Structure 1
Amino acid sequence: AQVALFQSGDVDYLIATDAIGMGLNLDLDHVAFAQNRKFDGFQYRNLTAAELGQIAGRAGRHLRDGTFGVTGQVDPLDEELIKKIEGHDFDPVKVLQWRTAHFDFASLDALKRSIETNAPVEGLTRALPAVDAQALEHLSRDEDIRALTTNAKRVALLWEACALPDYRRIAPAQHADLIASIYTDLARHGHVDENY
Structure 2
Amino acid sequence: MPNQIEPIIETGFIKTAGICLLIGALLATLAMTLHPNGGDIEYIVKIKSVLTFSHSVAIFCLPLIGFGFWGLSKILETKSKISTPAFFIFSFGLLAAMIAATINGLTLPNFASNFSANDNEISTIKKIIDYGKFINIPMAIIFIVATSLSVGLWAFLITQTSKLPKWIGYFGLSSGSADGILLGFLLLSCTLVFQSDPVPGLDQQ
Q: How does the TM-score come out when normalised to structure 2?
A: 0.28
The structure carrying a bigger strand percent of its residues is 1
- More relative contact order, 1 or 2 (CA 8 Å, 6+ apart): 2
The structure carrying a bigger helix percent of its residues is 2
Larger Rg over CA atoms: 1
Q: How does the TM-score come out when normalised to structure 1?
A: 0.29
